[in-house]
Structure 1
Amino acid sequence: MAETKQLSIKRVKIFIQKKILKDHTQNLDLISKSHIGLWITIATGVGFFLELMMIRIHSSYFQLFAYLKNISLLSCFLGLGIGYALSKKKPVYTPFVLPLLSLQVIILFLLRSSKIAPLLQNPFSEQLSLGLNQTVDLKHTLFVFGFVVAIFVYNALCFIPLGHLASYLMTKVKPLRSYGWNLIGSLGGIILFSLLSLLWSPPLVWFVIGTILLLPFLYKNHIGIILTAASVAAVTIILSLSFKPNTYDIFSPYQILTLMHYRDTPAIVMTSNSYY
C-alpha cells in the first residue's frame, strides 16, 4: 500500500515536471529576442500589480494588516527577491502563481467572516491602535503572531515564481537594457493598479486583470490554462458569496468601506472592518 502511494506521488511529480513546468520553460526559451523587452515589461508589471493587489487584500480583509502594511510589502519583496535570485535556474513555476494566489485570497475571504477574525487583535501591548483591541494574554498574542507569520511565509512563496519569471527573461538580454524594461514594467504595474483603485474596483476585478496580464505566458500550456481557469472560477464563485446579506463592501482608492443596513436603525459605515 505504501509503495503504491509512493509510486503515485512519483508519477504526479514527473507529470508536473514534464507536462507543465518543462513545457512552460521551453516556451519561454522560444521567445524571440526582438520581442524580449516587451515580455520582460509584462512579467515585471504583473509582478508589481499582483503585489499591490495582495497588499490591498490583506489590509481590506483584516484590519490587523492595515496597521502592519509593511508585513505584506516585505513578504512580497522577499518572494520576488528569491525569484530574481533564481535567475537562469530551470524550471520556471509560473503556472502555479494563480492557483497559489487564488487559494490565499479564498482562505482570507472565508476567514474574514469566521470566528477567527475577531481574535486578530493588536499583539503589541505597548502600542495603542484605533479600532483594534489589545490581545488578552500570551496565548492570544502567539495566535496572532502565528497567523501573521503564516500569511507572510505563504504569500512570499506565491511571489517566488513571479520574480523568477522576470529574472529568467532578463538573462536573455544585456543587463542595462533588461533593467530598463524592468523599470518600465514596474511603473506600468503600479500605474495600472492605481487607476483601478481610483475606479473603486473590487478584488475580483484586480484578480481578473492580473490573470489577463499573466495569460500571455501560459496560453501555449494547456494544463496551465486549465489551472488558471479553475483559479479564476474558484475566486469568482467564493468572492461572490455573501455571508452577511445586510452588508455591502465598497473598495475606495484607499481602504474598504462596509455599509451595514438594519431594518429599524440608520445604516452603519465601517472602515477596514472597524466602526467609523
Structure 2
Amino acid sequence: MRWRLVLASTTMLFVELALIRWAGANVVHLSYFSNFILLGSFLGIGIGFLLPAARGQWLKRWTPIPLALLVILVRTYPVQVRQSSSEVIYFTAVKTTGLPQWVTLPAIFLLTAVIMAGIGKITADLFRQLPSLDAYRYDLLGSITGSVSFAALSWLRAPSVVWACSRPWRC
C-alpha cells in the first residue's frame, strides 16, 4: 500500500510536469499563459482529494480517456506562429496555426483538470488508508521521485516516445 502511494504521487507530479513541458512546446499560447496547465493541475488534484472515498470511482477508471483526448487535440491542432516575413517583430502581428485561442485554452485547461482529478483521486484514496504522517511521508517521497524522474528524462533528452513529441524527427 505504501509503495502504491509512492507510485501514485510519482505519477501525479510526473504527469503534471510532462504536460506543462509538452503542451507548452506545442501550443504557443501557453508561452503567454505559462501557469495555465499548473492551475488546471491544482484544480484537478484538489477536486480529486476532495471527493469522498465512495464517490468518483468512475473518474479513476476513465482518466486515460481525457489524457488521450488532450494528446490528440494538441497533436492534431498544434498552435504555432506562422511568420511570413523576417520583418515581423511582435507576436500580435503574425497568424497562428491550429484552433482559435478561445477553443484551445479552455479545452486544455479542462482536460488537464479532469486528468489530474483522476490521478488525484487515486492518490487521495491511498492517502486515506495510512496514518496522516506516514501518508505524507510517502507522498513526499513520490513527489521527489516524480521530479527526479522528470529531470533525468529531460537531461537525457528522452526520445519522442517518452515525451509524446508532435514532431518525432526533431526530438
Q: What TM-score, normalized to structure 2?
A: 0.81
Paired residues of 2:67 and 2:111 also in contact (CA < 8 A): no
CA RMSD of aligned residues (A): 2.6
Change (3 A) 1:64 1:131: farther
Paired residues of 1:111 and 1:117 also in contact (CA < 8 A): no
Gap runs ≥5 in structure 1: 1-35, 120-129, 137-142, 208-234, 243-247, 251-276
Matches within 5 A, 1:110-259: 110-112=76-78, 117-118=80-81, 132-133=91-92, 143-206=100-163, 248-250=169-171
Matches within 5 A, 1:16-35: none
Paired residues of 2:28 and 2:80 also in contact (CA < 8 A): no
- 1:62-86 Cα shifts (integer Å, max 9, x gaps): 1221232201111111111110111
Check if 1:64 corresponds to 2:29: yes
Paired residues of 1:58 and 1:66 also in contact (CA < 8 A): no
Q: What TM-score, normalized to structure 1?
A: 0.52
Change (3 A) 1:134 1:92: same
1:133 CA displacement: 2.2
Tell me: higher relative CO, structure 1 or 2? Use CA pairs within 8 A at least 6 residues apart. Answer: 2
Change (3 A) 1:134 1:164: farther
1:118 CA displacement: 4.6
Check if 1:99 corresponds to 2:65: yes
Gap runs ≥5 in structure 2: 83-88
Counterpart for residue 88 of structure 1: 53
Structure 1: distance between partners of 2:63 and 2:45: 12
Structure 1: distance between partners of 2:37 and 2:9: 18
Counterpart for residue 86 of structure 2: none
The amino acid across from 2:3 in the alignment is L
Paired residues of 2:81 and 2:94 also in contact (CA < 8 A): no
Change (3 A) 1:79 1:203: farther
1:186 CA displacement: 0.8
